[in-house]
Structure 1
């Protein structure tokens, strides 16, 4: 049995479905859907040089990789490769083939530093280190059961703060872009990000097929968004937080907890029964917020880095 690596064929629905199934088996804490995979293929800006790879054995997708450059980074040459092999198909060489194909693509497009999220298991970390990657920061996946009634009571906003949803900004989302750009620039990460391209943000973030405007909660002061939590859903039972943040001038007032609490109550009312979120290991304040809301850690990844040249 021979393992081969090739590009995903977005025009073949069955190929996309096999990619999604493989990712769900390898990383069940993340929402994977065909429309989201296709959106990344079609809407990511050209200077990101993104590709989606699959490792195949006898017509079965057993591993996947999403790769590209970080176009929002102020430091050029930051490449990423996130490789996942189905847990029931390890040991066949799929991971190595995917990594080598990804590295070749990124290096030829100017990458000088490669970053990869790796599941925090002895096997996965040893694999990454054998290929020259060194461990760095940790990040956690967290899960909350929305069906058991354990969600804290709905909070009332403090005086001067109004709770809205992203749907209220459907005609002009630029104020949310401005807020997202500010909080993203402060997010703990190995790669800095500066959102300056509003059009790219609209295409990649605002028009993401999993973004649920009615479940995305926004705290507003004097007509200006000052905190938000972006909700992704599978339009069935699963809900995930894509980003939560507060404008610098309004931090320390509990607004992140306020919008997350509001969004979770909206999600449960809409029939979602399972919620996921993610936390950088060094972001203690947000980790504390999530734990107060009832989230529990269900998985951990370690960012691995390989410096080139």
Structure 2
């Protein structure tokens, strides 16, 4: 049995499908679709030096990696590599080869600090530590049963507040970009993110094939975008919250909860049967909101970091 690591072939539908399936088997708490994998591989800003890798054993894809530089961070030299091996194909050397290939690529492009999400399970954490990574912050994967669960009822909107969808901004998404950029600055993370290039944001986020414009809700206050809940869907009934946030001037008024509740109601009406989301373990306000909706924690990841000499 021989394991090799190579780049994903985005023009090969079978290769993309195998990558997607391997990712889903390893991390079922996230939406993985061939269209999403292709989009990220082909349309991530070139400054990220992004790569999608596969570990292949005798023609079978058994592991995957997504890696790049944090090009939208104000601090240079920060890279990321997220490695996942199929649970039924571990201990065959795929993870080791993926890590080595990813680290060599990132170091060659100036990375000095590497971040990696690792499932909070003993063998995964031991693997990360063995490769020189130390544990940091945690994040939870959460799930809500839309088919059998009970959503909080819709409530009357406060004076001056209206709810719109991303589709209403199709002619000019810049106001949505500005809201996303402001809220992302305050998102808990080891790596600060700044959306400063509108055209890059449009290509990477607005045009992302999973972004459901009809289910993404934006709350406006006196006509100004104030809060939003961005929705991803995969066409099979699965829905995921990509981001929920409120502009600083409008926080403390329950607008994010209004926007997310509206999006979830729209999703259920559209036939979605389960809702997924993720939260930093220290983001207690958002965790409380999701508990209010009925989300339950299904798994946890731990962010690991390694300093390169």
Shorter-chain TM-score category? Answer: over 0.9
Partner of 1:292: 292
Given that 2:26 and 2:84 are in contact with CA atoms closer than 8 Å, whether structure 1 keeps it comes out as yes
Distance in 1, Cα, partners of 2:149 & 2:10:
40
Given that 1:139 and 1:280 are in contact with CA atoms closer than 8 Å, whether structure 2 keeps it comes out as yes
Given that 2:227 and 2:246 are in contact with CA atoms closer than 8 Å, whether structure 1 keeps it comes out as yes
Partner of 2:229: 229
User: Which TM-score applies when normalising by structure 2?
Assistant: 0.99
Distance in 2, Cα, partners of 1:196 & 1:127:
36
Structure 1 residues without counterparts, runs of 5 or longer? none
Given that 1:65 and 1:84 are in contact with CA atoms closer than 8 Å, whether structure 2 keeps it comes out as yes
Cα-to-partner distance string for 1:71-93 (whole Å, 9 max, x where unaligned): 11000011000000000111101
Distance in 2, Cα, partners of 1:203 & 1:188:
24
Cα-to-partner distance string for 1:128-157 (whole Å, 9 max, x where unaligned): 000000000000000000001411112322
CA drift at 1:235: 2.0
Given that 2:139 and 2:302 are in contact with CA atoms closer than 8 Å, whether structure 1 keeps it comes out as yes
CA drift at 1:159: 1.5
Partner of 2:40: 40
Instruction: Write out aligned runs for 1:112-191 (5 A).
Output: 112-191=112-191
Cα-to-partner distance string for 1:57-78 (whole Å, 9 max, x where unaligned): 1111000000000111000011
Is 1:62 the counterpart of 2:62 in the alignment?
yes
Given that 2:149 and 2:294 are in contact with CA atoms closer than 8 Å, whether structure 1 keeps it comes out as no
Distance in 2, Cα, partners of 1:160 & 1:84:
46
Structure 2 residues without counterparts, runs of 5 or longer? none
SS at match of 2:279: strand
Distance in 1, Cα, partners of 2:155 & 2:123:
43
The 10-residue stretch of structure 1 (147-156 or 95-104) with the greater mean CA deviation from structure 2: 147-156
SS at match of 1:88: helix
Distance in 1, Cα, partners of 2:11 & 2:273:
32
Partner of 2:102: 102
Cα-to-partner distance string for 1:234-284 (whole Å, 9 max, x where unaligned): 123000000000000111111111111100000000000010000001100
Given that 2:53 and 2:98 are in contact with CA atoms closer than 8 Å, whether structure 1 keeps it comes out as yes
Partner of 2:17: 17
SS at match of 2:157: coil
Partner of 2:73: 73
SS at match of 2:282: coil
CA drift at 1:41: 1.4
**Superposition CA RMSD, Å:** 0.7
Given that 1:52 and 1:66 are in contact with CA atoms closer than 8 Å, whether structure 2 keeps it comes out as yes
User: Which TM-score applies when normalising by structure 1?
Assistant: 0.99
Cα-to-partner distance string for 1:156-199 (whole Å, 9 max, x where unaligned): 22111101111110100000000000000110000001111000
